[in-house]
Chain A
Amino acid sequence: MNDDDVAAILARAPLIEMPADVRRRLSRVIATEVALRTGEVAATDDGLNHLDASQMMTALQLAAERDDVHDETPESLAEDLGAEPDSVEIERMPHGYDTEADAGEVELASPASPE
Chain B
Amino acid sequence: MRSDAELLAAHVAGDAHAFGQLAERHADRLWTLAYRTLGNRDDAADALQDAMISAFRRASSFRGGASVLTWLHRIVVNACLDLLRRKKVRAADPLPEQTDHLAAFAHLPDDPAVAQELRDEVAQALGTLGPDQRSAVVLVDMLGYSVNEAAEMLGCPTGTVKSRCARARAALAGLLAPLWGTGEHSAASNTVNEGARS
- Taking beta carbons and an 8 Å cutoff, which residues of A are in contact with B? 1-19, 22-23, 25-27, 29-31, 33-34, 38, 43, 46, 48, 62
Q: In the bound complex, how far is the Cα of B106 from the Cα of A64, in angstroms?
A: 43
Contact B49 A16 (CB under 8 A): no
Contact B28 A38 (CB under 8 A): no
Q: Name the B residues within 8 Å of A3 (CB-CB).
A: 165-166, 169-170, 173
Contact A5 B16 (CB under 8 A): no
* Choice from B49, B142, B191 contacting A29 with Cβ under 8 Å: B49
Beyond the given A3-B173, A11-B144, A34-B19, please list 9 additional residue pairs across the A-B interface where CB-CB is below 8 A.
A10-B142, A13-B118, A15-B105, A16-B101, A17-B101, A18-B30, A22-B48, A23-B27, A46-B17
Q: A7-B169, A11-B188, A30-B56 are in contact. Are A1 and B101 (CB under 8 A)?
A: no
Contact B101 A26 (CB under 8 A): no
- Judge if B53 is at the interface, Cβ distance under 8 Å: yes
Chain A residue nearest in CB terms to B42: A22
- Judge if B177 is at the interface, Cβ distance under 8 Å: yes
Q: In the bound complex, how far is the Cα of B180 from the Cα of A3, in angstroms?
A: 12
Contact B53 A29 (CB under 8 A): yes
Q: Name the A residues within 8 Å of B137 (CB-CB).
A: 10
Contact B100 A19 (CB under 8 A): yes
How many chain B residues touch the partner (CB < 8 A)? 61
Q: In the bound complex, how far is the Cα of B160 from the Cα of A37, in angstroms?
A: 39
Interface SS, B side: helix
Please count the residue pairs between chain A and chain B whose beta carbons lie under 8 angstroms apart in the complex.
Answer: 144
Q: In the bound complex, how far is the Cα of B130 from the Cα of A34, in angstroms?
A: 36
Contact A14 B142 (CB under 8 A): yes
Q: Name the B residues within 8 Å of A4 (CB-CB).
A: 189, 192
- Judge if B31 is at the interface, Cβ distance under 8 Å: yes
* Choice from B30, B53, B187 contacting A12 with Cβ under 8 Å: B187
Chain B residue nearest in CB terms to A46: B17
Q: Name the B residues within 8 Å of A31 (CB-CB).
A: 20
Q: Name the B residues within 8 Å of A10 (CB-CB).
A: 122, 137, 141-142, 172, 176
Q: In the bound complex, how far is the Cα of B101 from the Cα of A4, in angstroms?
A: 27
Contact B188 A1 (CB under 8 A): no
Q: Name the B residues within 8 Å of A9 (CB-CB).
A: 118, 122, 176, 179-180, 184, 188
Q: Name the A residues within 8 Å of B118 (CB-CB).
A: 9, 12-13
Contact B31 A27 (CB under 8 A): no
Q: In the bound complex, how far is the Cα of B194 from the Cα of A7, in angstroms?
A: 13
Nearest CB on B from A106, distance (A): 17
* Choice from B16, B44, B52, B165 contacting A38 with Cβ under 8 Å: B16
